[in-house]
Structure 1
Amino acid sequence: MASLFRSTSGDGYVVLWNCNGARRNALSPEYYAGLISGLEAASADQSCAAVVLAGEGNFFCAGGDLTQLKARRVMSEPERRANIEKLHDVIRAIRGCRKPVIAAVEGGAAGAGVSLAMACDMIVAGVGARFTLAYVKAGLVPDGGATWSLSRVLPRATLAQMAMLGRPLSSERLHALGVVSDLVPDGQVLETANGLATEIARGPERAIADIKQLLNDAEQSASLEDQLTRERDAMAQALGGEEARTGISAFLNKEQPVFR
């Protein structure tokens, strides 16, 4: 049986692939394990500046495999909770990766595939892509943090229609709402995502990692004061570092900084 996960390297970045194209890249235990391992390796690899998530074929990710979900109905509730936590560990790994993670959404994302994309720092999508929370059609509810992430970027009524009625949202609408960072012609998604990763690779590694952490903290923060404290500490540390020396000097000399 062919592997359901693979990793390829670009110029300063890595692409982590869901290789379940025959099932529209439905999620699998092998993909979970490979993705978490790949994210951990990217975090530790100084030569890797960014991560791109992609799906083979013409669809990013269809979410959970209903055949597997049907089989899990006979499990006890604690066993079912443990299986859902495996998906949630993937979401945590994406958010916790020190490197920016970019979702390359060709065709569309459904169910937990939406959760995967929303956990990323940037989303590149083709103009024909559609995002669907199809759980309700199967009598299920969203997981993977979908209600948490989408409630922060969508009006409640829009999210309610998406989650309660299973209505898809186009990539064009999500781009207009600021959820999709880059909207490109179909077939150019991976190329654009790789271009963003290459651009990130030219930037200051430590500063970008700290910015990602600040963005994560801002979403979790209870107050403005908490975030002001985090930003103060991160800025004070950054200002004393080598990246700031390089960047400030280049800016003042009207030159392009070379961080790596």
Structure 2
Amino acid sequence: MEFARFNLAKTSFVIEGTYQPGDYDHDIDEQCRLFVDGQELSLADSLSIRNHSPCGFNWGYGGSGPAQSALAICLHIFQNSHVAEALYQQFKRAFVAGWEPQKRPFTVTIDVADFLIDNRITLQQALIRETEEDEWKSWELVEEAHNVLIPPVEFRSPSVVRPLQPKPTSQYQIGDVVQTTAAFLDSPAGSRAVVYECYEGGGISIITEAGDDLGGFSIEDQDSYLQFLYHADGFTYSFRSVSYLYADWRRGVFMNVFR
């Protein structure tokens, strides 16, 4: 498999944040704006990938507003949605959470070279996912064209080899709905989630009712932080990549799982 390529023209960037207080007497909302090297970032572009903070950007702490800011900045400087999705939470902790008190103007210069080195494994995994997704899209186009020209009889696309092979376990299976007993990322304790992937050895991955991918849980983590609720009969899911996962959530694939 030939991995997707990732190149940066530079590693140093000037980040500027501005704040406009609200004036409710004149129907003016408060607004935080972000600029990278003088170019304003789009909130809508980042919301189309992950909706952490529809009310806008923020910084200076570790919540949803800074998460949205980190995603928007990563989309701009890395120019790769797979890389941005994989790294923005780490980027938030490494940079955004420490930029001035929240809702205060700031200007900083950052260099992401060391950050990328520190997160090189996550970066490589993101590029693998991008390659897998590109291969799936290519084969889907081939299969679609083939079905138009020739009735689908025995045409099969080759399977893509993933680093971990999903395998249902006796403890949890795809379609099990659980409830968290602690807060993870921006999801509070008590969030409902569904198991969308099981791994050999007992690990599982879950996505919440609100669309937050909470990542992998070992058997020990499952015992400590998850409570089984019920199994969604008839629900099946074949995980391909994080991007496909979020797209499927937005399309309502998981909607009927939660009673």
TM-score, structure 1 normalization: 0.28
More helix by share: 1
Mark the structure with the bigger radius of gyration.
2
TM-score, structure 2 normalization: 0.28
Q: Which one scores higher on RCO, CA 8 angstroms, separation ≥ 6?
A: 1
